[in-house]
Amino acid sequence: MKDVQNFYKSEDRPYTDILEVPNDEKRVITTRNADTCLLFRLPGELRNMIYTYILQVDDLYVFEVTVDRAVPEYFLMLLGNENARLRHRHPERFALLLVCRQMYSDAALLPFNLNTLAFRSNCFRMLVQYKTTSVQRKAIRSIEIHLEASSPL
């Protein structure tokens, strides 16, 4: 468990590290995307409006569904919609971030910045401590913590 915790706690790890490729290769991919993808031909301001329309859901409830306590898994549910409990870690709205590296780097911090993240107290500590980078934490604008009367902080 210590290795998992250290990986997630690493402050020097950029938020795009899972998508790292050599700069030359990245330049080729970016150029190809700019030529072939109509979205990337739009001005950045317009792309940001589209990203905001897709990624802003107001309230995201983060809850823990884990069998192995050593490696907790966190899922998202849109508040106010009990039927929206997601079985997959990437809700449809956030699948946009999985399309390509350029789209991810354009919009990766927007879910943190645009939405209120709602947690039960036990999920909040683990998610902030081990599952987010300092860049992601700095992007968070609104947090809601649900406390149970018998639950310690």
What residue segments make up the domains of the chain, in order of their start?
A: 2-146
Round to whole Å and give the CA distance between 138 and 143.
Answer: 12
57 pLDDT above the threshold of 70:
yes
State the pTM of this model: 0.62
Q: Would strands 74-78 and 116-120 be described as parallel, antiparallel, or unpaired? A: unpaired
- How far, in Å, CA of 120 to CA of 122, rounded? 6
The arithmetic mean of pLDDT across residues 15-20, rounded, is 49
Q: What is the pLDDT of residue 63?
A: 57
- Cβ-based neighbour number of residue 8 at 10 Å: 15
pLDDT in tens, 18-46: 455 567 777 787 778 777 888 888 998 99
Burial class (CB in 10 A: 0-12, 13-18, 19+), 51: buried
Q: What is the pLDDT of residues 66-78, one digit of tens each?
A: 545 555 454 454 4
Average pLDDT, the chain: 68
- CA gap 62, 120 in Å, rounded: 8
Torsion over CA of 64, 65, 67 and 73, rounded to 10 degrees? -60
Query: Is residue 145's pLDDT more than 70?
Result: yes
